Amino acid sequence: MVTDAPRAAVRPSAPPAFTDAAIAGMDDVYRFARSLTRDPSDAEDVVQDTYLRAFRSWHTFQPETDIRRWLFTIARNVFLRSRERGQREVAVDDDQSALADAAQAQEAWVRGGLDSILDRTDLGPSITAALAELPESFRAVVVLVDIEDQPYEAAAEVLGIPIGTVRSRLFRGRKLMQHSLAQHARDAGLLSASPSRSSV
């Protein structure tokens, strides 16, 4: 849960409709910031800076557009600026083989019966852990598309990457998530045999 600190950023000059919409999206922005920083305290710092910037430049927001997308973009920029220089980026190849690989993994997932097994399992803690283990470039896309329900175009705009890159990173991120959740099923004794590495 987000602290009340970012709420102090609200300026009286911002219209009530803008203020209400921005505050309503705060938990979503925090969740996105948490996916970027992997740390609750750092995520709150990103949220606070995001809202300071948002209310400082509220007049640049286009009312007919999605305010969450606008806030996600600000949060992403805040995170990138706050990150230490020289931090290693994850290299990602955006090729068609990634899509085919992900499709094969999904087919194996269904054939192995993991869908029905995991439907009967509390996956909350496992999903949280699996997300935390994803490289940042994959995690940001998975959170925006699968958790925040943003379309590919919106995710591409927020992250400043082509739509093709969004698709590739999403498929790869989902594959890594599938592998983690399959491991959860094995650890919980729901799978009697460990499938080959290529099947997850």
SS percent in the chain: helix, strand, coil, step 5 = 70, 0, 30
Q: Give the domain extent around 65.
A: 5-82
pTM over 0.85: no
Check residue 183 and give its pLDDT: 75
Asked if 109 and 153 sit in the same domain, the reply is yes
At residue 159, the pLDDT reads 92
The answer to whether residues 158 and 73 belong to one domain is no
For position 143, what pLDDT does the model report? 92
CB atoms within 10 A of CB 196: 8
Confirm whether 88 is domain-assigned. Answer: no
Res 8: pLDDT: 46
Task: Provide the pLDDT for residue 51.
Answer: 95
Query: Considering the domain boundaries, does residue 91 fall inside one?
Result: no
Domain holding 14: CATH number?
A: 1.10.1740.10
Q: Which residues of the chain have pLDDT under 70?
A: 1-12, 84-124, 184-185, 187-200
> What is the predicted pLDDT for the residue at 91?
42
Q: Is residue 90 domain-resident? A: no
Q: What is the pLDDT of residue 116?
A: 52
Task: Say whether both 55 and 128 belong to one domain.
Answer: no
pLDDT in tens, 6-50: 544 444 478 899 999 999 999 999 999 999 888 899 999 999 999
In a domain, 87, yes or no: no
Instruction: Kindly report the CATH number assigned to the domain that includes residue 166.
Output: 1.10.10.10
What is the rounded CA–CA span in Å between residue 96 and residue 103? 11
